[in-house]
Amino acid sequence: MQRRFFPAWIGLAVFFVLSSVLSVATGPGGLRGVEVSPVMDLRLLRLALGIVAGGVLAVVGASLQGLLQNPLADPYTMGIASGAALGAGLTLVLGRTAGALLPVGGFAGAMATMLAVYVLARVRSRVTVTGLILAGVIVSFLCSSLVMLVMILGRRTLGEAVYMMMGHLGTVFTGTSSWLFLAVAVLSLVGCAWLFSMSRSLDIMASGEEAAATLGIDTQRTTKTVFVIASVLVGMVVSFTGVISFVGLVIPHLVRMMFGPEHRRVIPGSFIGGAGILLLSDVLARNVVPGGLPLSIVTALVGVPFFIYLLRSRL
């Protein structure tokens, strides 16, 4: 059964490598710019950020779709991204964005939101999937409105708000924040590996919480673990890149179309596919229009045709 997926894995790997090469080879500095060491530094950092962000968002999207038994779930379903944006917004407005403080603020916002959602969703020390979704939606709406309010009160320009809410890979790194990012990258790989190890549980959870319990899954532990890991991962990524949409929702479905729904293939496939798509979208966002486009616009424009194509080829 593994053998028939071989071509698909190869295809995915090739796509990833091509996207990476394009990401490093293009940009305002041009191909010539690659010879100049500082530009290469920037490009490599961007590449790393793109791989981590794209991979994490897709893996979290896939895991949440399994846990919440909902094909429409994405990494932001539980409100974490809005919380990170709120944290980042507050940090910006309070003025001290030097160096590493902005991602830290964003992450703090994400963790506060995670706590809020957890507490809201908890009924007599049990956390149900439905509760998480509802609490997540409520908190997400609240945080989104507060972000806009904070930006207005803090008299930040619209450009900054758009930058955060639409996502970007153009984070300017300093010495401190690049060390921070290294920690984030390592933690992200650990988190994704952990989610991968829970593949069977996620498969079974996709058949319903009660059925999963009867099949020997500790649904409470699984739900809480996935929730916390997903929140931490998304919080870390969003605090660096803002809210990049679409990747976490669509890539898992594309990967499922190629490999079937088992999480032990969908999760690693999503990581590679998510990284590839995000890097490709970034290349387009930076180079097609002078001045660049917000990343989420491009991820949506790139993702939809892919999706339609594969959907039709299957029907």
Partner 1 sequence: MTLTRSVLTIVLLVAGCGQRPVSESRLRVVSLVPSVTEILYAVGAGRMLVGNTNQCNFPEAARGVYKVGDFMSPDLERIVALRPGLVFLTLPMHRQLLDKLIEMKVAVYVSRPASIEAVFGETDTVSQLVGRKAAGESLVADMRRRLDSIPVFADTLRVYAEISGTPLMTAGGGTFVNELLARAGGQNVFGSSLQEYPVVDPEAVLAADPDVILLLHPDMSNADIAGRIGWGDISAVKRGRIYDHLDEDLFFRPGPRIVDGIVLLAQLLHSAR
Partner 2 sequence: MNAVELSGVTFGYGERMLFERFCLEVPTGEFLGVIGPNGAGKSTLLRLMAGLLSPAAGSVRVLDRDLAASSRRELARTLGVVLQENPFAFDYTVMDVVMMGRNPYLGRFQSPRRIDRVAVDAALEFVDAQSLRDRQINSISAGERQRVVLARALAQQPGILMLDEATSHLDISHQQLIARTLLELNRQGKTVVFLSHDLNLAALCCSRVLLLDHGRAVACDVPERVITAERILAVYGVEPIVSRHPANGRPQVLLPVATSVGREAADS
Q: Which residues bind partner 1 (CB under 8 A)?
A: 27-30, 33, 36-39, 41-43, 45, 92, 95-99, 102, 152, 155, 157, 159-160, 163, 168, 170, 172-176, 178, 286, 290-292
Question: Residue 130 interacts with partner 2 (CB under 8 A)?
Answer: no
Cβ closest to partner 1, residue 263 vs residue 286: 286
Q: State the binding partner of 11 from partner 1, partner 2, none, CB within 5 to 8 A by kind.
A: none
Q: State the binding partner of 41 from partner 2, partner 1, none, CB within 5 to 8 A by kind.
A: partner 1
The letter for the amino acid at 17 is V
Contact 84, 238 (CB under 8 A): yes
Question: Residue 71 interacts with partner 2 (CB under 8 A)?
Answer: yes
Cβ closest to partner 2, residue 161 vs residue 255: 255
Give CA–CA dist 177/226, Å, rounded.
27
Give CA–CA dist 52/188, Å, rounded.
7
> Least separation, in Å, of the C-beta of 259 and partner 1?
35
Q: N- to C-terminal Cα distance for the chain?
A: 22
DSSP-assigned letters across all residues of 78-97: TSHHHHHHHHHHHHHHHS--
Q: In the beta sheet, which residues pair with residue 293?
A: none
Give CA–CA dist 123/35, Å, rounded.
59
> Least separation, in Å, of the C-beta of 84 and partner 1?
14
> Least separation, in Å, of the C-beta of 159 and partner 2?
40
Question: Residue 8 interacts with partner 2 (CB under 8 A)?
Answer: no
Question: Residue 39 interacts with partner 2 (CB under 8 A)?
Answer: no
Q: State the binding partner of 95 from partner 1, partner 2, none, CB within 5 to 8 A by kind.
A: partner 1
x/- site string to partner 2, residues 206 to 245, per CB under 8 A? xxx-xx-xxxxxxx--------------------------
* Structure tokens, 280: 């490709």
Q: State how far Cα 226 lies from the chain centre.
A: 15
Q: State the binding partner of 97 from partner 1, partner 2, none, CB within 5 to 8 A by kind.
A: partner 1
Question: Residue 96 interacts with partner 2 (CB under 8 A)?
Answer: no
Give CA–CA dist 195/198, Å, rounded.
5
Collapsing DSSP to helix, strand or coil, 246 comes out as coil
Q: State the binding partner of 262 from partner 1, partner 2, none, CB within 5 to 8 A by kind.
A: partner 2
> Least separation, in Å, of the C-beta of 106 and partner 2?
31
Q: State how far Cα 77 lies from the chain centre.
A: 11
Q: State the binding partner of 71 from partner 2, partner 1, none, CB within 5 to 8 A by kind.
A: partner 2
CB atoms within 10 A of CB 239: 27
Q: What is the enclosing helix (H) or strand (E) of 126? A: strand 126-127
Q: What is the enclosing helix (H) or strand (E) of 123? A: strand 122-123
What residues between 253 and 272 interact with partner 2 by CB under 8 A? 256, 260-262
> Least separation, in Å, of the C-beta of 89 and partner 2?
34
Q: 């950020």: which residue's tokens? A: 49
Contact 114, 235 (CB under 8 A): yes
The site for partner 2 (CB under 8 A) is made up of 65-66, 69-71, 197-198, 200, 203-204, 206-208, 210-211, 213-219, 256, 260-262
